Chains A and B, each alone.
Chain A
Amino acid sequence: MNALVIFGLLAVLMLTGMPISISLGLTVLTFLFTMTQVPLESVALKLFTGIEKFEIMAIPFFILAGNFLTHGGVAKRMINFATSMVGHWYGGLGLAGVLACALFAAVSGSSPATVVAIGSILLPAMVKAGFPNKFGAGVIATSGALGILIPPSIVMVMYSVATNTSVGALFMAGVLPGLALAATLGGVTWYRAKKFDYPRQPKATWGERWKAFRASVWGLLLIVVVMGGIYTGIFTPTEAAAMSAVYAFICAVFIYRDLGMKDVPKVLLNSANMSAMLLYIITNAVLFSFIMTNENIPQALADWMLGNGLGMITFLLAVNVILLLAGNFMEPSSIVLIFAPILFPVAVALGIHPVHFGILMVVNMEVGMCHPPVGLNLYVASGITKMGITELTVAVWPWLLSMLVFLGVVTYWPGLSLWLPRQLGML
């Protein structure tokens, strides 16, 4: 009963359009003042200690690192490299778009920024080369979402915060599905380009490829710093994030020279703004999950599922449907923070591996970014292509459909996510 009231109130408050963090907080306060005996002091303490974990501090550092490299110059280098590698195949520039999005999204950590950066450089080039506008928009809008699966990923840090799962293992587990999804999107691009006979680029020589690689490698080394540092145990994930922020600073200011020293305070301020928003949601989501646990709601849900003989397959299907629906209205980090603490205990009770469950949620978030009515990527893409949302929805469907199929594969094939971290001995 209480659970229904809590969720009802949360849903109503959210739909009034107030910030998600505020609606979470107000729900908790209402609940505390009217329905429970939990002393207010313990909540006040939670308010302070909710984000006092060193693991959470990886988020501001990753955002800072990403912001240093979220720059048109970096995007251009990635596009050049990608075009020189795959440009001569069918749908050359489209394939290059998928690859460039994957690389840039991994480094910048933001899907919408990836769509804008890669899209506004590559789309005009594609139109000029003779691709229809629709094709380019579909490729970029969907590939931009790759960033939250390929490490370092902020959504994964959120999941690990909400469920106490190892960040390192999650990052490693994201590598193979990330590559597989990029390959799937690339495959769709290639197939459609071949079918409609879209133009191909002249084949680049190995000399050109080497040159393009050398220009883009400095940005890509960020991934190596993070993954290598965590895997070898040189850094904890948060330290790796701080190191990647320093590395990104050196890279942007001294190697690429895209930014001057005078731009640095602006980047710091923007990153602080973004991180503060996410940390604020985390604080309130921690409060929210505290009262959920206090009311035994996840436990009750797990008992109900087990009592009704609902197995893993039904549960995972339900999880996918719920998350896809939620993806219609909210952005990824809020969804993960609200739903992970509720669904996680059930998943564990059903014998689903925590890391696998995390990857499943992240892939779900990716799909949610690309479908109407609220896919953020669609909105951003509509801004740069000047196409309407309806038109874009039609444009992205081949890729969106393949993403949904891929989501099914990830959901029911744990090996895809778990193989690599197991091989590396991280699980």
Chain B
Amino acid sequence: MINKALNHLEELLVTFLMGAATVIIFVAVAHRYLAGVDIPGLQDWLLTLNFGWAQELCIIMFVWMAKFGAAYGVRTGIHVGVDVLINRLDDNMRGKFIVFGLLAGATFTGIVATLGAHFVWENGAHYFFFNLFGIAGEDLYEGPTTPDLEWPTWIVYSAIPLGSSLMCFRFLQVCLAFIRTGELPHHDHGHVDGLEEETPPVDVDVYGMDDNLHMHDLKHTMVGDRRSGEERRRDAAGKPDPERRQGERRTNDDDGDQQ
């Protein structure tokens, strides 16, 4: 439940950052050129706007996107490694190497998260929180701000500890799932939408049609089959029917094509 909410939040954040950064740069560039065009009224208004901060904001958004997207990427299996060697090992050894790799990922991101948290704390978060709760008094460092937006850098940089912790968590999650089920998330780099796929419409169950014109699943009887495979086979053996034979052979061909 919490995990699902986290998944959604992660996806939402990453999607938003990607879209928003694009729009911001587009608007900034459009503004730069439109402000030079002499349109009464509009030009005056455009000239009052300043988009000098767009570049900085875009960088910040993409750094956040990179950190959280990397965590999302662990879940989708997009982080590629060199797997030629371990794929030649037997399943048991391969499994051990995969677990090792995932744990190494968790270790690295864990260390980075700690380093990052330390850095963020020293660069202003300490001051901010102590001030917030009124425990200030010692001379703490207020921390720098970003040049254009003048945001405190510790807020900007907190992407590192937050993103890396999330990534560490994702590595552990994937590792646990792998130990339990033996399955790894895998990203399909060659996926293209809009190619014709040979999937039948949902409401047609070709396996359920017992009319000899459609394929039958010979190995597994499906729910809704009017006759079990056993019966069908006994039928065919008892009463040699050339047409049905042919039908079945075609069935096998069909199956082969689909694989």
Q: Which residues of A contact B (CB under 8 A)?
A: 13-23, 25-26, 29, 40-41, 43-45, 47-48, 51-54, 57, 60-61, 64, 70-73, 75, 110, 112-113, 115-117, 120-121, 234-235, 238-239, 242-243, 245-246, 258, 263-265, 268-269, 271-277, 279-280, 283, 328-331, 373-374, 376, 380, 383
Contacts and interface: CB of A to CB of B under 8 A. Distances in A.
Range of interface residues on B (Cβ < 8 Å): 35 or more
Interface in B88-120: 97-98, 100-102, 104-105, 107-108, 111-112, 115-116, 118-119
Contact of B84 (A29, A235, A265, A329): A329
Contacts of B191: 113, 116
B107 A26 contact: yes
Given A15-B85, A20-B82, A376-B189, A277 B18 contact: no
Nearest to A229: B29
A272 B119 contact: no
Nearest to A74: B194
A239 B66 contact: no
A374 B84 contact: yes
Contact of A271 (B18, B73, B85): B18
A242 B194 contact: no
Given A47-B115, A235-B29, A280 B79 contact: yes
B19 interface: yes
Interface stretch (B20-28, B37-45, B124-132, B220-228): B20-28
B86 A16 contact: yes
Contact of B81 (A14, A120, A258, A383): A14
Given A113-B189, A242-B26, A268-B15, A17 B82 contact: yes
Interface stretch (B54-62, B135-143, B208-216, B231-239): B54-62
B52 to A, nearest CB: 13
Contacts, number: 205
A17 B86 contact: yes
Contacts of A329: 82, 84
B122 to A, nearest CB: 9
Nearest to B86: A17
A272 B18 contact: yes
A332 to B, nearest CB: 11
Contacts of B157: 48
Given A242-B29, A265-B15, 9 more contacts: A15-B82, A18-B105, A19-B101, A22-B108, A115-B190, A238-B25, A242-B21, A276-B67, A276-B69
Contacts of B160: 47-48
Q: Which of A20, A25, A374 has the most CB of B within 10 A?
A: A25
Nearest to A274: B78
A16 B193 CA distance: 33
B80 interface: yes
B210 to A, nearest CB: 30
A115 B191 CA distance: 10
Contacts of A274: 78
Given A18-B81, A276-B69, A71 B104 contact: no
Q: Which of A19, A264, A280, A380 has the most CB of B within 10 A?
A: A19
Contacts of A273: 14, 69, 72-73, 76, 78, 187
